[in-house]
Chains A and B, each alone.
Chain A
Amino acid sequence: DIQMTQSPSTLSASVGDIVTITCRASRSISIWLAWYQQKPGNAPKLLIYRASSLESGVPSRFSGSGSGTDFTLTINSLQPDDFATYYCQQYVSQSWTFGQGTKVEI
């Protein structure tokens, strides 16, 4: 199975900061990577698919990049609504896997 490793596990930031979360796959997944945002008590929400495609309705301060094994989610000018946990997910293989999550907190 492909392992997904996110870093950091927790990130302390302030409103207006630029935040970067990384996700590394144990082998190449091309661009088959998604990013999700989850707030406590809520279901995850798709932010990015195919590594860099922004889901409709998601603010443009969110962006994704990367291919192969190394990927990045960037949040430009962090807003109060962005404090949440973020997960990457690979979906190239017959066994999809999530990263362990990154909690963005104040």
Chain B
Amino acid sequence: EVHLVESGGGLVQPGGSLRLSCAASGLSFNTYTMTWVRQAPGKGLEWISYIIGSGQSIYYADSVRGRFTVSRDNAKNSLFLQMNNLRDEDTAVYYCAGEPAPGARWGQGTLVTVSS
């Protein structure tokens, strides 16, 4: 069974940095396009980024481009989201998920709070 577990969330001051991780199991990780999605409190889903299986191509939403960096370590079945220059509006639950394809699963999410 596919299982995704995010970690690394927490409280950070505006302008600070945080690195989220997503540990995957139960799938051929290096063949999957993975995505990061966030959800601000009481709001809808916002797509942030996706990275193809090889890691060769990565795409970002305008709201995070230049501040967030996605990477993956296929040897360790792990996905990462490096978040720099964080803003109040980045406060959200961050989910890692497989692309919208058969068997796609989402992690339980990790909360990032940006506040002074």
Please report A residues at the B interface, Cβ cutoff 8 Å. Answer: 1, 34, 36, 38, 43-46, 49, 53, 55-56, 87, 89, 91, 94-101
Q: Please name all residues of chain A whose beta carbon is closer than 8 Å to the beta carbon of B106 when the two chains form the complex.
A: 43-46
A1 CA to B61 CA in the complex, in Å? 9
CB distance from B85 to the nearest CB of A (A): 21
Q: Identify which of B46, B102, B105 contacts A98 (C-beta below 8 A).
A: B46
B100 touches A56 (CB 8 A): no
Measured CB to CB, the closest approach of chain B to A80, in angstroms, equals 23
Inter-chain contact B45/A56, CB cutoff 8 Å: no
Number of interface residues of B (CB under 8 A): 23
A-B contact list, 15 entries, CB within 8 Å: A38-B45, A43-B97, A43-B107, A43-B109, A44-B45, A45-B106, A55-B104, A87-B44, A87-B45, A89-B47, A95-B59, A95-B62, A98-B45, A99-B44, A101-B45
CB distance from B6 to the nearest CB of A (A): 10
- Tell yes or no: B35 within 8 A of A by CB: yes
Cβ of B101 under 8 Å from chain A? yes
Q: Is the CB of A97 within 8 A of B47?
A: yes
Cα–Cα distance between A94 and B104 once the two chains are bound (Å): 19
Query: Which residues from chain A contact B103 at a C-beta distance below 8 Å?
Result: 55-56
B54 to nearest A CB, angstroms?
16
